[in-house]
Structure 1
Amino acid sequence: MMKTLFRIFCTFILALLIAFTTSAQEKDPKANPFNGLELRSIGPAFMSGRIADIAIHPQNENIWYVAVGSGGVWKTINSGTTWTPLFDKEASYSIGTVSIDPNRPETIWVGTGEDVGGRHVGFGDGVYRSDNGGQTWTNMGLKETQHISRVIVHPENSNVVWVTAQGPLWNKGGQRGLYKTIDGGKTWTKTLGDDAWTGVTELVYDPTNPNRMYAATWQRHRTVAAYIGNGPGTALYRSDDAGDTWEKLTSGLPKTSMGKTGLAISPQNPDVLYAAIELDRRKGAVYRSDDGGGSWSKQSNTITGGTGPHYYQELYASPHQKDRLYLMDNTMQISEDGGKTFYRMNRKNKHGDNHAIAFRKHDPNYLIVGTDGGLYESFDLTNTWKYIENLPVTQFYKLAVDDAEPFYNIYGGTQDNSTEGGPSRTDNLHGIQNSDWSVILNWDGHQPATEPGNPNIVYAERQEGTLSRLDMKTGEAVDIQPQPAVGDAIQRFNWDAPILVSPHKPSTIYFASQRVWKSENRGDSWTPISEDLTKNEERITLPIYGKQQSWDNAWDVYAMSNYNTITSLSESPKQEGLLYVGTDDGLINVTENGGANWRQIKVSQLPGVPSTAFVNDIKADLHDVNTVYVALDNHKYGDFKPYLYKSTNKGQSWESLAKSIPAKHLVWRIVQDHVTPNLLFIGTEFGLFFSVNSGKQWTALKGNVPTISFRDLAIQKRENDLIAASFGRGFYILDDYSALREASQDNLNADAKLFPVRDAWWYIQRSQLSFEANKGSQGDSHFAAPNPDFGAVFTHYLKAIPELQKELRKTKEKNLKNQSIPFPGWKALENEKLEQKPQLVFVIKNQAGEVIRNISKDAKPGVNRTAWDLRYPNPSPIELSETKASDDFGGPKGLLAPPGTYSVTMYLSNNGSVKQLDAPVEFIVKPLYESTLKGSSLEIASAFWRSFEEASRTSFKIDKSIIKADKKVIALHKALMNSTANSESGLKQLKTIRDQINTLKSDYYGNQAKSEIGEKNPPSVSDKMFTIYLSLERSTYGPTETNKTQMQIINSMLNKAENELKAIESSMDQFEALLKASGAPYIDD
């Protein structure tokens, strides 16, 4: 049955894939029918990510715009209490700078492509402008700049804007230099920088004379092998005509080649400038000019450290204190004397790696700092720090998932934020909070691994192969990095070295430097099973700036990872000892006998692949011993094509799978479904894709997915979940992707489908922060990522929505073009107004065929999801006034239906017609936990709930009848006074009726005088029912004996009230008949 349903499902999917190609999706994202399959963003935010720039609104300092190095642009209107991502749908995720137009603060400029020289930096596509505070954006050109550090708007003329473009990091050319526009970005003129290797990294202007500007150029080049960040192109310049022409500044500046330079101009005296200049071999100095750049003097030998000056060097002059400077660094350096001396900022309880600062105009003690770990505020001039703990922009390199029960855990190695671990979901109302996450290994984190069947064993590593085995039960970590024997070559571990747990024996693991290491005892001891599998080159001999460079040049391999390293490992689950190895220097190696013999494949043997291509990922097929996949990457040589290949003969020949992958979507990772061989997923530089035909056609997964780089993917097999590690927006999960399996062409014309339903967990959602969902009472800044929808989730497809009569009419009128348009008639127009939108209706039945719940939602085309919360219908009454009852607790819910087997059937309701769309689908509801105490049987609990529901209906009816009786007796009095009836006897009768009503109200609700001042009354029906509801709604225990006794009392009270109401209503009917006979006015009931 299940296989048949899968085949039917797959039929329609391939049809959709044929109809909606990747190119069509790029032109019209709405054409993708899978956008309704939304991924779940789970953060975390307890450690954030790299901040490139901060802009504070000049008129409202509660509004900030934040440029995230690898996570888009974010906005807060309440000083970080809440955040809105602004750049999710734009073409770039890597951001270098954000600026606010000082003349029109709703105009925001963004330069894409962050301006650090790091090994994993993203790239941009030019400069963007928004004229509505970031709601919408327009690309204003300069698309080949790749890395932009500053966008500066003229303080008096919004049409004049300058952009400092560093240009490509990995190759020469592109758009690099200083660009100026005088028409708001319609056209650009380059005024500084060359066309090869030198761009502009810094620009400041005289606040008293914007025509006077100062710029720093920067010559740099990085390859996979090496980095040089200095050269003759680096210099300082001055312009006196708003950047149209430039004068090179040399007096007093270093004579040797310079590197990255930070510039600052004194807000107190604009003739004073400061420059933090990188020199050769990680040396540097801070210089000062007191004459507007005419001459300079060295103040100190201060230079930034850590990864190197290429990563920092931003220099800020305090707007509040003359000669106070802030130099961005691993630990920020501060000078109080204009750069002569510096001291290290207090970094206690704060992340290092500082990149940006913003100040408030009138608060000299305040500053906000952007780091590799997010945003920090100081209100006392860096003495203490407040962390902004709700910005989920972590950069993950790699991930792993375990098989913990009931919910699996996710582990990820991050850029400069350690290796982190947390749950894929929780059993509470609030979702996944920061407190659910923890750091399991410090420093930069890289590829983790888990042991199948033993979630207490996790492997994690720091940069360059510092590998540890962690006992998650105790929290202990044992260093297990393989060590060379005496006389062996130095081990070259990649920055992100690959680890592999053997699919054949979980205690066997593989690790790699330039050779492959094997351990059969979880890393206690190691044996090398290969010699050097790389090209083993001397990196200093390889070209930089297009040619081999002198030893005396400014080499900085400290800023690099090792080179000639292994980057990827895979063992075939179908053949033990069949291993594939990929390197960073263009090689693939294969062994079929556990390392005894190796066969080398140059990547240039793959059709169309350059010899320099970096192997991002290599994967043995899970189902076929002869098949292997490889994802390659050549962007670090200026080639941004996606490369993805498949071999069906263990690497003897290859075919490309990249034909439908969009341009510049570098392929980082590929994973294969463990059930269906043809179902593949890839993570690319700008998104996620899947294929149901072994890579012949790729379809984007865009539901709730921003433009972001996905550097790793994993599949949790038990749950059929796809987990994606993004490089700047944390983790994403596609819960239960099983609907994407096994496609065929048989169902090309399917109108609708209801797909197999995953087993649903049955439990009461725990409350940790009060009974309010999500953030409880923790405030709006509290971070909580969503759990999957609670209950049973139905995945369904609708080919098209039936068109409404109005839509049909307008289509016919449009086709008439220039002809006269006939009047449709008043009846047709009235029918259009009365017509309701089509709805999908889901009918849930238990195994006995009884209807348990009906769920309706607006019909939408494509693949979408609907959840049933496993509860019976809401017992709350429905009032004709349509007033929506809402409170902080979300209103009452129905009782949980018991565990067991259920079915769901999908219908389309359209214009009074109801059509079944597909056969019923069965699914199982199963308990998550076994309760400590055994309560009532499920049958007794269900019967009790039915009696509670009936009592609720009766109680509501009584409440409304009493209200109606109160109003009716007033109306009868008015009618009596407007009739010829005997008023004396009539008033006596009305008094008797009113007394009867008041007696009923007093018995039913309690003494009104007591209620008025809060004095206790005996528990009313509502009181008793509320007590029972609280017991049942948040428990699977069932009714207690007290509940049962109270229900008997409730039914007795309801029966008494109903009988008294009947007598009252009978008396009022008789009195009304008397009035009618006396000519009284009509009384509206």
Structure 2
Amino acid sequence: TWREISPDLTTDDETKQVDSGGLTFDNVGVDYGTTLFAIGESPLEPDILWAGSNDGLIHVTRDGGDSWTNVTVNLGGLPPWGTVSNIEASRFAVGSAYVTVDLHQVDDRDPYVYRTNDFGASWTLITNGIPRGMLSYAHVIREDPERPGMLYLGTENAVYLSIDDGDNWVPLRNNLPPAPVHWLTIQEAYGDLVLGTYGRGFWILDDLSPLRQLDDGVLASRAHLFEPRPAYRLLRRSLPGDPDRDGPHGYREDPPFGAPINYYLADSIVDAAGSDGEAAITIRDDFGNVVRTLRGNASAGINRVYWDLRHEESPPIELRTPPLGHPGVAFGPDSIGYNDEGWRELDVEGSGPNGPLAVPGKYAVEVDVGGHLLTTTLEVVKDPTSAASKDDIRAQIDLALRIRDQVNVLTEMGNSIEWIRKQIDDLEDLMRGRSDMTEAQGAAASFDQKLIDLEREFYILRTTGASENLLRFPAGLFSHFKMLGGYVTTGDARPTSSKYEVFDELSARLEQHREIYGSLISTDLDEFNSIARAHGLPGLAVPPQN
């Protein structure tokens, strides 16, 4: 049931309650004069309510509606017939509130934003810093739920921020299009600013924590690292209705997954060559071990880098030789895509990132920029829906890291072999057609075949990137390790005994291949280089190992 708690809180001006449409009445809603347009309830006292109308009146009750006080006359300098579009009752002071009044319908496009600290007995105009123009009229004001005096303001073409209770405003647009900002709200659990525009969709400014921590001390410093908000280690799920699964998702953009790391620089950093400098970010666990290293911008102002909560990835397999069995496939952009460094990525089952998610807990964050070493602590929080214990997750990630480390060993061997085989290809081009090179040609072909025989145990050497390659040829040790890592890190769960058994079996095979590789490098390579040099050819070089 409903109970009436007020008289008419508008002017009830009958001249604003007439038919519209001129000679032919239409009454399609062009004018709704003398209508209550905004209401604000105090978060501190349930009996305190504010009401605003679209004919310029503001009332307040302090007894739940038994009596109302018209405080409009106290807004000095406010022209009549404005639309009180938003009233924000403060959550920090009982008598404080903020209002926006829109007069553009009477061709007054200035911003009218007011603050009161005494239940409307007096008001202060708070619009310093908002440029005057055709689109400067205000629609909505919001108070930050955590920091007193921090306000957000939406106008007809921008959004603004104040950290001094509205005394001064600065633009907060960044990449926001110049659209009318009609509503603002703060997602309190994560501290994100959400706004609704007229015609340009919803927009979200993720992670307000650096703005909440911004003060005179930060602005006076040369560099400052903000305390990060907790980062949730959310597990990826595909649900019915998920745009990624059930249809196009171009209408929305998700923020990067993980933890935003925010730091302030008073001035942009440039390197010795005059180019834009960088910040080096290091994430360490509670034992001081490096979990991840990142690079970030070093521009004046607030910079942001996302850590995806993962450990370091394995380096890529760098294929420098053409696919076996495809002699007609040439180098170049019109065939197989080799990059500027002369290699192409391996595309087989299991390819992709393999750095596992970090275990829930506390991590040290270090930002090294412009001669400043800044440190703070970041908390990684377990997915609230996960039933696994921290010990279960730690066992899971320990095995995943052991798998990743084995992939690193395999990758290092594979890349070394590719470097050597590419050198052999180049030498064969030099020797082609020369009868005095028969011995060297035979030695090169023999050594190359030994390298191929080992490398094909790692991954498919015949792959051209076509999807059917994965069906035609058996997967190698690389794919077996990567797929095992994928199974181990699916969900949050302690690995089963069978996963450890598979890991041990794959590791035993890898150790056998390491012994063969060691023999090829220590014995066969030297033998070939002796023959090559005897024929006036340069020897083969082994790339440095990490």
TM-score tier by shorter-chain length is 0.7 to 0.9
Please tell me the residue identity of whatever aligns with 1:621: S
Cα deviation, residue 689, structure 1: 0.9
Cα deviation, residue 552, structure 1: 9.5
Give the match's secondary structure for 1:559.
coil
Within the candidate set 45, 50, 58, 1:588 is matched to: 58
Return the alpha-carbon distance in structure 2 between the equivalents of residues 1057 and 716 of structure 1: 54
Higher-Rg structure is 1
Residue-by-residue CA offset, 1:656-679 (whole Å, 9 max, x unaligned)? 112332224211111111222211
Cα deviation, residue 872, structure 1: 0.6
Please name the residue that 1:625 is paired with: 94
Change (3 A) 1:800 1:1040: same
Residue-by-residue CA offset, 1:357-380 (whole Å, 9 max, x unaligned)? xxxxxxxxxxxxxxxxxxxxxxxx
Within the candidate set 518, 527, 544, 1:1062 is matched to: 518
Return the alpha-carbon distance in structure 2 between the equivalents of residues 553 and 1013 of structure 1: 75
Q: Is the 8 A contact 2:317 2:414 kept in 1?
A: no
Please tell me the residue identity of whatever aligns with 2:286: Q
Cα deviation, residue 639, structure 1: 1.7
Give the match's secondary structure for 1:527.
coil
Please name the residue that 2:336 is paired with: none
Return the alpha-carbon distance in structure 1 between the equivalents of residues 101 and 484 of structure 2: 63
Does residue 567 (structure 1) correspond to residue 37 (structure 2)? The answer is yes
Return the alpha-carbon distance in structure 2 between the equivalents of residues 619 and 990 of structure 1: 80
Q: Is the 8 A contact 1:981 1:1078 kept in 2?
A: no
Give the match's secondary structure for 1:741.
helix
Instruction: List aligned pairs for 1:543-942, cutoff 5 A.
Output: 554-603=24-73, 605-663=74-132, 664-741=135-212, 744-767=215-238, 778=247, 782-803=249-270, 832=273, 837-877=276-316, 879=318, 881=341, 883=343, 885=345, 891-908=352-369, 915-918=371-374, 920-931=375-386, 937-942=392-397
Please name the residue that 1:1036 is paired with: 492
Return the alpha-carbon distance in structure 1 between the equivalents of residues 346 and 432 of structure 2: 41
Does residue 1046 (structure 1) correspond to residue 502 (structure 2)? The answer is yes
Please name the residue that 2:9 is paired with: 533
Return the alpha-carbon distance in structure 2 between the equivalents of residues 884 and 1077 of structure 1: 30
Please tell me the residue identity of whatever aligns with 1:947: R
Please tell me the residue identity of whatever aligns with 1:642: P
Q: Is the 8 A contact 1:634 1:640 kept in 2?
A: yes
Q: Is the 8 A contact 1:632 1:644 kept in 2?
A: yes
Change (3 A) 1:553 1:907: same
Please name the residue that 2:338 is paired with: none
Q: Is the 8 A contact 2:191 2:206 kept in 1?
A: yes
Q: Is the 8 A contact 1:753 1:917 kept in 2?
A: no
Cα deviation, residue 531, structure 1: 1.8
Change (3 A) 1:979 1:905: same
Q: Is the 8 A contact 2:525 2:540 kept in 1?
A: no
Moved more, 624-633 or 1059-1068: 1059-1068
Please tell me the residue identity of whatever aligns with 2:313: N
Give the match's secondary structure for 2:220.
coil
Q: Is the 8 A contact 1:534 1:566 kept in 2?
A: yes
Change (3 A) 1:543 1:850: same
Instruction: List aligned pairs for 1:391-540, cutoff 5 A.
Output: 525-539=1-15
Moved more, 556-565 or 587-596: 556-565
Q: Is the 8 A contact 1:936 1:1039 kept in 2?
A: no
Residue-by-residue CA offset, 1:163-221 (whole Å, 9 max, x unaligned)? xxxxxxxxxxxxxxxxxxxxxxxxxxxxxxxxxxxxxxxxxxxxxxxxxxxxxxxxxxx
Q: Is the 8 A contact 1:980 1:1078 kept in 2?
A: no
Cα deviation, residue 932, structure 1: 5.9
Give the match's secondary structure for 1:623.
coil
Return the alpha-carbon distance in structure 2 between the equivalents of residues 689 and 945 of structure 1: 46
Cα deviation, residue 556, structure 1: 4.6
Cα deviation, residue 568, structure 1: 1.6
Return the alpha-carbon distance in structure 1 between the equivalents of residues 460 and 63 of structure 2: 86
Cα deviation, residue 990, structure 1: 7.7
Change (3 A) 1:555 1:849: same
Please tell me the residue identity of whatever aligns with 2:366: T
Q: Is the 8 A contact 2:397 2:489 kept in 1?
A: no
TM-score (norm 1): 0.43
Return the alpha-carbon distance in structure 2 between the equivalents of residues 1007 and 704 of structure 1: 45
Structure 2 unmatched runs, 5+: 321-340, 463-467, 542-546
Return the alpha-carbon distance in structure 1 between the equivalents of residues 529 and 391 of structure 2: 52
Change (3 A) 1:602 1:945: closer
Give the match's secondary structure for 2:479.
helix
Structure 1 unmatched runs, 5+: 1-524, 545-550, 806-831, 910-914
Instruction: List aligned pairs for 1:195-344, cutoff 5 A.
Output: none
Q: Report how many residues are paired.
A: 511
Return the alpha-carbon distance in structure 2 between the equivalents of residues 590 and 995 of structure 1: 88
Please name the residue that 2:331 is paired with: none
**What is the alpha-carbon root mean square deviation over aligned residues?**
4.0
Cα deviation, residue 529, structure 1: 1.5
Please name the residue that 1:1027 is paired with: 483
Change (3 A) 1:591 1:1071: closer
Change (3 A) 1:887 1:1047: closer
Cα deviation, residue 758, structure 1: 1.2
Return the alpha-carbon distance in structure 2 between the equivalents of residues 859 and 1007 of structure 1: 42
Give the match's secondary structure for 1:789.
coil
Please name the residue that 1:955 is paired with: 410
Greater strand fraction, Structure 1 or Structure 2: 1
Q: Is the 8 A contact 1:905 1:916 kept in 2?
A: no
Return the alpha-carbon distance in structure 1 between the equivalents of residues 148 and 75 of structure 2: 23
Please tell me the residue identity of whatever aligns with 1:786: E
Give the match's secondary structure for 1:528.
coil
Change (3 A) 1:800 1:927: same
Q: Is the 8 A contact 2:424 2:540 kept in 1?
A: no
Identity, in percent, stands at: 25
Return the alpha-carbon distance in structure 2 between the equivalents of residues 572 and 1077 of structure 1: 88
Give the match's secondary structure for 2:47.
coil
Please tell me the residue identity of whatever aligns with 2:360: P
Q: Is the 8 A contact 1:975 1:1080 kept in 2?
A: no
Residue-by-residue CA offset, 1:650-699 (whole Å, 9 max, x unaligned)? 11122211233222421111111122221111111111111111111111
Q: Is the 8 A contact 1:877 1:953 kept in 2?
A: no
Return the alpha-carbon distance in structure 2 between the equivalents of residues 614 and 1012 of structure 1: 67
Cα deviation, residue 750, structure 1: 1.2
Return the alpha-carbon distance in structure 2 between the equivalents of residues 1043 and 591 of structure 1: 67
TM-score (norm 2): 0.81
Give the match's secondary structure for 1:924.
strand
Please tell me the residue identity of whatever aligns with 1:535: T
Q: Is the 8 A contact 2:400 2:489 kept in 1?
A: no
Return the structure number with greater relative CO, CA threshold 8 A, min gap 6: 1
Please tell me the residue identity of whatever aligns with 1:730: G
Return the alpha-carbon distance in structure 2 between the equivalents of residues 775 and 947 of structure 1: 31
Residue-by-residue CA offset, 1:617-644 (whole Å, 9 max, x unaligned)? 2232221122222221222222222111
Residue-by-residue CA offset, 1:58-86 (whole Å, 9 max, x unaligned)? xxxxxxxxxxxxxxxxxxxxxxxxxxxxx
Return the alpha-carbon distance in structure 2 between the equivalents of residues 949 and 802 of structure 1: 35
